[in-house]
Amino acid sequence: MDDYVNKEVVEIDKVIEGNQNGAMRRVTTETHPSAPDGSGRRLYGMVAVSFGMLCVLQVALNISLRLVSDCLTEERDQLPASYNDLIIERDQLQKEKDYIMGKCSNPGWNKFESCWYFVSSESKTWSESRQDCVERGADLVIVNSREKQRFLFALNKRAWIGLTDRETEGSWKWVDGTPLRTSYWIIDQPNNGRSLSSFPEEDCVELQNGQDQPEKTWNDLNCALKRIWICELCNNNLL
C-alpha cells in the first residue's frame, strides 16, 4: 500500500515538473523574440545611406538641369540682339568701304598699304592744313613706319605732316595724341628756329624735298608759315 502511494506521488511530481519546464520554455520564448544579428543591422544601415545618397544626387541633377536650361534660355534670348549687332557692323563696314571708294575716284588721292593719301595743290598754315584734312574725313599724315616714310619721300614734296610740340616745347606728339617714338629728322633738327631770329618758335614739322637720304627729311618750322600738306585716310579716321 505504501509503495503504491509513493509511486503515485512520484508520478504527480514528474507531471508538475514537466508542466513547470514547459511553462518556463514558453515564457522564455515569449520574453526573447528573435531579433536580427549585427550583420543585419549593418545591411539596414548601408541601405539607408545609399538611399540618402541617391536623394542627394537627384537634387544635384535637378539643379544642374535647371542651370543648363536657364543658360540655354538666356543664349536664345540674346540671339536677336547679336544678329542686330552683326547687321549694324555690316552696314558700318559697307559705309566705310563706300566712303573710301568714293575717295579713290577723286583726284589727288594715292593709296599706300591700307590707307589713302591726299597731297594738296595749295599752301596753308599748319592749322589750316589740318582743318582741311579734317573736313575731308582725314587728318594730317602720321609717320609710324619706315615704309611709310619712304613712301612720302618718293612724293618729293615739301609738305606739312601731323607732328607738333605746340602743347609742350620739346614734347613731340602726333595729331592723334600719340608721342613720337621713331623720328626721321634732318641732321641738326629740330632746332626750334635758333638759326632764324625772325621765326623763333618752330613747333610744327614739314617734310623737305630734295634730300638724298629718305630717312632724314623732317624739319621743324614755324606753324604760321604756309606749305602744302598731306592728309591720311585710314579706317580708323572714319566716323
- In this structure, is residue 147 part of a structural domain? yes
pLDDT class of 106 with cuts at 50, 70, 90: low
> Are the C-beta atoms of 171 and 183 separated by less than 8 Å?
no
State pTM to two decimals. 0.57
- In this structure, is residue 14 part of a structural domain? no
pLDDT above 70 (res 8) = no
Distance (Å) of CA 76 to CA 23, 70, 82, 189, 209: 81, 10, 10, 62, 61
- In this structure, is residue 22 part of a structural domain? no
> Are the C-beta atoms of 174 and 142 separated by less than 8 Å?
yes
**What are the pLDDT digits (tens) for 165-192?**
999 998 999 999 999 999 999 999 998 8
pLDDT class of 122 with cuts at 50, 70, 90: very high
Cα separation, 136 vs 103, in Å, equals 9
What is residue 115's predicted lDDT score, i.e. its pLDDT? 93
Measured on CA atoms in the order 64, 68, 73, 78, is the torsion positive or negative? positive
Total tally of structural domains belonging to the chain:
1
CA 231 to centroid of chain Cα atoms: 33
**Domain housing 206:** 104-237
DSSP helix/strand/coil, 107: coil
> Are the C-beta atoms of 215 and 166 separated by less than 8 Å?
no
Cα separation, 168 vs 41, in Å, equals 90
What is residue 62's predicted lDDT score, i.e. its pLDDT? 85
For residue 157, the cross-strand partners are none
- Backbone phi, psi, residue 95, to 5°: -65, -40
pLDDT above 80 (res 16) = no
pLDDT above 70 covers a percentage of the chain that reads 73
85/186: higher pLDDT: 186
> Are the C-beta atoms of 207 and 152 separated by less than 8 Å?
yes
- In this structure, is residue 187 part of a structural domain? yes
State the average pLDDT for the chain: 80
CATH number reported for the structural domain that contains residue 141 in this entry: 3.10.100.10
pLDDT above 80 (res 163) = yes
57/14: higher pLDDT: 57
Residue 113 in grid coordinates: 598699304
What is residue 13's predicted lDDT score, i.e. its pLDDT? 54
- In this structure, is residue 176 part of a structural domain? yes
pLDDT above 70 (res 74) = yes
Which of 65-79, 140-154, 213-227 shows the lowest per-residue confidence on average (mean pLDDT)?
65-79
- In this structure, is residue 61 part of a structural domain? no
Cα separation, 164 vs 142, in Å, equals 11
- In this structure, is residue 111 part of a structural domain? yes
Average pLDDT over residues 132-161: 96
- In this structure, is residue 164 part of a structural domain? yes
CB atoms near residue 150 (< 10 Å): 14
> Are the C-beta atoms of 125 and 200 separated by less than 8 Å?
no
